[in-house]
């Protein structure tokens, strides 16, 4: 069961649900992998619709690792993500939005 208040989303890979969330370590990995100047630059890519499939995979992998998944990007390249590429893009955007949500 995912907890949106903790920034979690559910990602179904090959029929199995996984919890994903962008921890600080996952965000640092993501920033380095995408060569982004800042985390906000990554978020802006998604907000403006200027993201690539590579960006989506990187965000999903970082989020999945933040949720305890032990896989790598290459594992997602041949996996079936429920809902296909459009759903994968929405999940990546949701992960970023939840990571940057400020709550009191």
Extents of the domains making up the chain: 4-100
pTM beyond 0.85, yes or no: yes
Q: How far apart are CA 88 and CA 33, in angstroms?
A: 18
Tell me the per-residue pLDDT of 16-71, one tens digit each, with 9 for 90 and over: 999 999 998 888 888 888 888 888 888 888 888 888 899 999 999 999 999 999 99
Beta bridge partners of 81: 13
């Amino acid at each position: 069961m995912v907890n949106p208040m903790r920034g979690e989303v559910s990602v179904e890979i090959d029929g199995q649900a996984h919890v994903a969330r962008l921890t600080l370590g996952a965000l640092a990995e993501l920033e380095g992998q995408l060569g982004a100047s800042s985390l906000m630059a990554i978020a802006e890519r998604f907000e403006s619709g200027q993201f690539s499939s590579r960006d989506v995979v990187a965000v999903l992998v970082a989020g999945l690792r933040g949720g305890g998944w032990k896989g790598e990007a290459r594992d997602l390249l041949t996996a079936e993500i429920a809902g296909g590429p459009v759903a994968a893009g929405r999940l990546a955007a949701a992960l970023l939005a939840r990571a940057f949500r400020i709550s009191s």
